[in-house]
Amino acid sequence: LPGALRGALADTIAAAVTALTPELFAFAQRLVRTPSLPGDEEGAHRIVAAKLQSLGLDTRIISATAEELNTHPAFCDDGIPVERRINVVGRLRGAATRNGARDAARSLILNGHLDVVSPGNEALWDASPWSGIIRDGRLYGRGSCDMKSGLTAGIFAIETLQRLGLALDGDVLLESVSGEESGGVGTLTTIVNGYRASAAIVLEPTSLRLGLVQAGALTFRVRIAGRAVHACMKNQGVSAIEKVCRVIAGLNELERARHVTYSNPLYEDPNNVAPISIGTIHGGAWHSTVPDDVVLEGRFGVLPGESIPAAQQAFADALRRVADDDPWLRDHPPAFEWFEGQFESGQTNADEPVVGALCGAHKAITGATPVLQGVTYGSDLRLFTNHADMPAILYGPGDVLKAHTVNEFIELDEVVQATKVLALMMCGWCGVAERR
Ligand SMILES: [Zn+2]
């Protein structure tokens, strides 16, 4: 859009969103009050589907077959039957599509997941994790930040355009998906069902920064053998716990070395792009026995642009170097396996037109130049960039530090800002067809 028109439109949109805030807050609150733990997302999806239908979107409830997913290279099985993982896709049909010129205008996917992580020990929460309490401009509850409010912003951005009678040229697809936290089954389902657009915005809590790059993450298990003897004869045995210390030192050295060779200005902390972290250690049988068996589990960060096989090879090489340095480990090398989540990295170029479109809308609404960043966590961005051949951006209200925590909350002002930015961005990106 030309600058002057964008300015006028920004004001119009901002006023319309402000008028809608009571309904916007109530909708986000209703979603938070509807628990949607992995495998149990259906109730929340039904609320979204009804809302999209009421806005006149062509709304479908979709799932994928186990066969479609099992054969897909990006499928991460979280053990929950795929038939239970419904997803909602609502299509706001643009004028160009209605006239049969499907490729004539740019289209956009707004994507958000409805699954939430467990609230953990509910006794630690000030109120129920499903309270949806609004206090001092904040909405509280599991999923308020990650990421039911982001999804709500996307839905109400569409409603705002409709209230203003602004029809778009290109299509907008609102995708409400399951299973993001445990591998991305929902977004993958939309992809195998053929849903595509010129670009995607994944409405994760980024504090309204644009996330263009994400690291990947692999889950590993390492088993180290020792030789058990009575502790009083320690020197006759081999402590698997002491050998584990060598393995951990080797992995820390690998983490350091990988960050020395990798550099990407989008990351705030150059030493924390793709961390390697040990999450569990189990070993030993008795305090006075030299331990002969220890099992480590952890997370191995995949650098942006690095393939999963290359990351796995780096890990295997590091373990071999540790073993080569120790006579016992040389003869009894650590055994390892990859299990559960194996998430690729993903990236979108900063010079993609959709990045400029979103930056322009952000600046017009907030007055500030947006921050571009890389994130260290996994997300559905990678599925769009790697398996749907689409540029994708993480952008949404909420601070990721408030996600997955006790007393999770979101600042509602930021949800309102996001709604305004998304509405304006859709106008610029998809084109405004006519005033109805
Ligand atoms: Zn999330």
3-state secondary structure 350-395: CCCHHHHHHHHHHHHHHCCCCCEEEECCCCCHHHHHHHCCCCEEEC
The residues near 68 (Cβ < 8 Å, ≥ 6 apart) are: 192
Whole-number Å distance, alpha carbon 181 to ligand 1 midpoint, is 7
Among the options 41, 115, 146, 408, which is catalytic? 115
Query: What does the pLDDT read at residue 84?
Result: 83
Is the confidence at residue 353, as pLDDT, over 90?
yes
Across the range 339-353, mean pLDDT stands at 94
Whole-number Å distance, alpha carbon 411 to ligand 1 midpoint, is 16
Among the options 159, 169, 175, 180, which is catalytic? 180
Is the confidence at residue 433, as pLDDT, over 90?
no
Phi-psi region of 65 (alpha: psi -120 to 50; beta: other; left: phi over 0): beta
Tell me how long the chain is: 436
Distance of alpha carbon 196 from alpha carbon 190, whole angstroms? 8
Whole-number Å distance, alpha carbon 113 to ligand 1 midpoint, is 7
Query: What does the pLDDT read at residue 435?
Result: 53
Residue 297, Cα to own-chain centre: how many angstroms? 22
- pLDDT tens digit string along 362-377? 999 999 999 999 999 9
Q: How do 199-202 and 392-394 pair as beta strands?
A: parallel
Residue 183, Cα to own-chain centre: how many angstroms? 9
At residue 7 the predicted structure's pLDDT band, cuts being 50, 70 and 90, is confident
- 269 among known catalytic residues: no
Is the confidence at residue 99, as pLDDT, over 80?
no
Yes or no: say if 341 and 38 are a contact pair by the CB < 8 Å rule.
Answer: no
At residue 78 the predicted structure's pLDDT band, cuts being 50, 70 and 90, is confident
Yes or no: say if 211 and 393 are a contact pair by the CB < 8 Å rule.
Answer: yes
- pLDDT tens digit string along 144-172? 999 999 999 999 999 999 999 999 999 99
Q: Which of 425, 378, 368 is nearest to 74 (CA)?
A: 378
Whole-number Å distance, alpha carbon 117 to ligand 1 midpoint, is 9
Whole-number Å distance, alpha carbon 84 to ligand 1 midpoint, is 20
Whole-number Å distance, alpha carbon 313 to ligand 1 midpoint, is 29
At residue 434 the predicted structure's pLDDT band, cuts being 50, 70 and 90, is low
Whole-number Å distance, alpha carbon 76 to ligand 1 midpoint, is 16
Distance of alpha carbon 431 from alpha carbon 96, whole angstroms? 10
Query: What does the pLDDT read at residue 436?
Result: 46
Whole-number Å distance, alpha carbon 387 to ligand 1 midpoint, is 19
Q: How do 335-343 and 138-140 pair as beta strands?
A: unpaired
Yes or no: say if 224 and 114 are a contact pair by the CB < 8 Å rule.
Answer: no
- pLDDT tens digit string along 405-428? 999 999 999 999 999 999 999 999
The residues near 54 (Cβ < 8 Å, ≥ 6 apart) are: none
Q: Give whole-number Cα distances, 138 to 114, 125, 135, 145, 327, in Å.
A: 19, 15, 5, 10, 58
Residues measured by CB to lie within 5 Å of ligand 1, the ion: 146-147, 204
Whole-number Å distance, alpha carbon 78 to ligand 1 midpoint, is 16
- 181 among known catalytic residues: no
Tokens found for residue 203: 């409405």
Query: What does the pLDDT read at residue 1?
Result: 66
Whole-number Å distance, alpha carbon 145 to ligand 1 midpoint, is 8
Distance of alpha carbon 174 from alpha carbon 190, whole angstroms? 11
Is the confidence at residue 102, as pLDDT, over 70?
no
pTM for the full predicted model: 0.92
Distance of alpha carbon 57 from alpha carbon 174, whole angstroms? 9
